[in-house]
Amino acid sequence: MQKIVAINREFGDPLLQTDNSRQEEWDNNKLAQYLVILNNYPQSLVSYEMLLSMIANPSFYYINSGHVFKNREQILNTVLRIDTATIGSKKATLLYNAYDNMILTYSDKKNALFPLIKLTSQNKKVKSLKEVSGNSNYLVIDFWHTACGPCRQQHPEFSRISKAYADQSELKFISISMDSKMQDWRSYLQNHNFNFINYWLDSKQYPAFQVEAGIVSYPRYILVDMRTNRIVNGNIKIEHLTTVLENLLKENS
C-alpha cells in the first residue's frame, strides 16, 4: 500500500502538457509502476481494489481516459494474475466484468449501431431519434451535462459551427444533456441562450447507453448516419469537427 501511495504522490499533479508525446510518457510511466506492484502482489485485496478501480474509472488515473484501453493486453495479464482464491469468486466476477465493460466502452464505435433512444424536449415532449433528425441524413450530437465546465466552454463554438452549416439540410445539429435530473437541465437552459436544439436523455431508461455509444467523457461529439442508424465518428474533438463535416460533405457530393 505504501508503494501505491508513493506513486500517487509522484504522479499526483498531471502534466496537462500540450505536447501529447510528453503526456503519453507520463501516463505510460504511471501505468508501468502500478502494474509492477499489482503483479508482485496478486494475492492482495489492495491489488484487486486498485486494479478494479483503474479499469472502471481510467480517467481518474490518467489524463487520456483511453490509456488503459490502449494497454489492455498488459492489463488483462494482470487481471488474470489476481488470485481468485484470495479475493473470492464474486470479486473475481466483478473484476472480469469490469474489464469486459472497459473493452466494450472504449472500442472503436465506427459503423456500430447507435442505440435507438428517445429524447425529451424542453417542453417535456418525448421524441424518437428519427423524429428529431427529420429529413436530415446525419445527426451531429453534442453530449454534455450542466456540471461539465469544458462542455459549457465549448457551446459557443458548437453554436458557431451549427450556424455555419445551417444551409446544409443533410446535417442536423442537436445537443443532448446527460444530467441525471431533467430539472437541472431545464433550469440551465432558462438562464442561457442557445441557437441549436437541446434535448435531455433519461439515462435511467437506457442504463447501457453510454457503453454502447462509447461515451467515456464529456463533452462528446458523435456523428450518426440516420439512414443506417450507424455511428460515422464516435469521438470528434471540437477543433476537428469542421474538418470532419467538410470531408463528409465532399464524400457525399
List per-residue pLDDT tens for the chain, 253 residues long.
567 666 666 666 555 545 567 777 888 888 888 899 899 999 999 899 989 998 988 877 776 777 888 899 999 999 999 999 999 999 999 999 999 988 988 888 999 999 999 999 989 999 999 999 999 999 999 999 999 998 999 999 999 999 999 999 999 999 999 999 999 999 999 888 777 799 999 989 999 899 899 898 889 999 999 999 999 999 899 999 999 999 999 998 8
d(CA 117, CA 174): 14
Task: Give the pLDDT confidence score for residue 33 in this predicted structure.
Answer: 87
Torsion angle (degrees, nearest 10) of CA 236, 240, 246, 249: 0
d(CA 201, CA 117): 8
Cβ atoms of 30 and 11 within 8 Å: the answer is yes
Up-side HSE of residue 5: CA atoms within 13 Å toward CB? Answer: 2
Cα→Cα distances 149→46, 198, 219, Å: 33, 17, 9
Task: Give the pLDDT confidence score for residue 68 in this predicted structure.
Answer: 86
Task: Give the pLDDT confidence score for residue 27 in this predicted structure.
Answer: 82
d(CA 95, CA 36): 18
CA angle 7, 12, 15 (to 5 degrees): 115
Cα→Cα distances 248→8, 98, 228, 241, Å: 43, 35, 15, 11
In three-state secondary structure terms, 200 is: strand
Strand order in the sheet with 220-225: 126-128, 118-120, 197-200, 171-177, 138-144, 220-225, 230-236
State pTM to two decimals. Answer: 0.76
> By C-alpha distance, which of 24, 25, 78, 88 is closest to 52?
78
CB-CB neighbours of 113 under 10 Å: 13
- Helices first, then strands: H and E counts in the chain: 13, 7
Task: Give the pLDDT confidence score for residue 193 in this predicted structure.
Answer: 77
C-alpha cell of residue 102? 472497459
d(CA 80, CA 129): 41
> By C-alpha distance, which of 100, 103, 94, 33 is closest to 62?
33
